[in-house]
Structures are given as structure tokens and as C-alpha cells.
Amino acid sequence: MIPAEPLPRERVGTPWQLHPAGYFRQGLVGESYHSDQLERISGPEAAGEKQLVAELRREPRNPDDRDAIQVLINGGLVGYIPKEDAPDYQPELKAVESWGYTAQCPARLWWRREQHELVASVSLNLAEPGRIVSIVPRPVGELVLPPSRWFQVSGEAEHMDMLVPLLNRAYFPGRAFAYAQLELVDRTGPRSVIPIVVVRIGGGVVGELSRQTSARLKALLEPLRDAQVACYAEAELTGNALAAEVRVSLTMPEELRAGFVQQVEARLGRS
């Protein structure tokens, strides 16, 4: 079952950015049948590489494969998602399509010319099935930490009442992508106050980060909390009705790039 639309519909055809893998992991098939379009979008050099934007479009009326997924660049067909991968991407792409959006992701075109004949291949910066569309609304306009290293969340077993319904919304069995809110709380211990980062998905608590990780994030999250500014991170959920795990992708405050720091300063009214 397709979950309810996570964002208000703006207009049919509005681009929807599918979640990337961070590298161009997904290859295509059939590029050689679309050399005319590849010739148009490649450069004049004998060999080269370009980064472009690709549209993914389901083709349920394809007589050879009802799960076929076209890949278009600049409006022209350049290839297909391999037949063995296409079925697993169907639920997420069908959801995006039902919301009235156009599914897009970064693409890399590589080419060379051999005796005036173009040899080309296209690959996509596209996450694995089940990780390209969030199961909860994207935090539009909010601060989202740049992804970097994965950190395990603890205490999931105490929050299965929240995690099971979330996993039931997964597009791929037992695996889901979401955005998690990072909430800094102060816990009073026997001798001191301990900062702990509570992890929320869909408004409910799903666990917390370790004391060490929470302490490192305090420098960023404390001023944001005091200014009532929310901060999010990318999250992965895996599991079933019996057990579940959550992890979040975090960049530590001391490793943040200047551009994100400027966003934080602006939210805090310091810019």
C-alpha cells in the first residue's frame, strides 16, 4: 500500500529528488540503442564525462516488461534500469508518480568516440531500493545535517510501538529511509547533568544516541534548542515486528563545512 503523500502537491511534473547513494552506483542497460540522444547530450571532445540530471519514468505498458523503468536526460531516452533491479524500485517510483511529481536523480555520462562512432554509458547516483523515498515527510526548509558516518541508535527495543508502524510503511521489506529529528535533552544524574540526543522519527521517539556521540553534538544542538530551531539527520530503519534497528548519518560539529555553519548562524540570528 502506498503511504499518504508526504508533501502537499504543488503541480504535476514538479521534480522530486530521489535520495542519492553518494556515488554513481546504478548502471543502465540499452544505451547503445539510444546513441542519437547520447550524441546530443555529450560534448564535442573525443572522450569525456558529464554530470547531468536524469528522470526515472515507469513504463507499465511495456509489452516486454511491465516493470520497465525508462531513464531520460534532457527529455530523451538514454537507457533502462536493469531488469533485475527494476521491480524493487517500483513501489517508490509509483508513489512519487501518484503524488504528481517527476522522479529525478543525478546522472553521469561517460563517452568516447571510436572511428566516429560514439561509445557511451550512463550511471545514476541513486540509493538502493527502499532508500530513495522517505517514509516520513521531508523536513522542507529545516536544517538537515550533511550525511557522513553512520551512528547506531540505542534503545530501539523500548520503542517498538513506534518502529513497527514505521517499518510497515517501508517500500522495501524490512528496510526504510527516513528523516530523524535530533533532540537534545538534559538528564540529571547522581553527580551531574548528562546531555543525551533523543532520536525522533515521525514525531515519536525511536531511541537515543550514546553519551559520547551526544556530547559531541551538544555544541551544535544546544544553541539550536535554545533558539527553538529543529535539526534533522538522515536515518535508516531495518527489521520487522520482532526487532528493529535505527542508525543515523551524522557530520560532527567540528567537521561541518562553512556553508552549513552559515545556515546555522543565520537561523540563530548571528549572520
pLDDT tens digits, residue range 10-36? 555 789 999 999 999 999 999 999 999
Q: Where are the domains of the chain?
A: 14-124, 143-267
pLDDT on residue 135: 96
pLDDT on residue 190: 81
Q: Which CATH architecture does the domain made up of 14-124 adopt? A: 2-Layer Sandwich (3.30)
The 10s digit of each residue's pLDDT in 102-160 is 999 999 999 999 887 899 999 999 999 999 999 998 888 899 999 999 999 999 999 99
Residue of 88, 15, 90, 82 lying closest to 53 (CA atoms): 15
Measured in whole angstroms, the distance separating CA 14 from the mean position of its chain's CA atoms is: 17
Choice between 114 and 256, residue whose per-residue pLDDT is larger? 256
The 10s digit of each residue's pLDDT in 77-91 is 999 999 999 999 999
pLDDT at 7 over 60: no
- Other CB atoms within 10 Å distance of the CB of residue 255: 12
pLDDT at 1 over 70: no
pLDDT on residue 207: 98
The C-alpha cell of 29 is what? 542497460
Amino acid type, 230? A
pLDDT on residue 12: 59
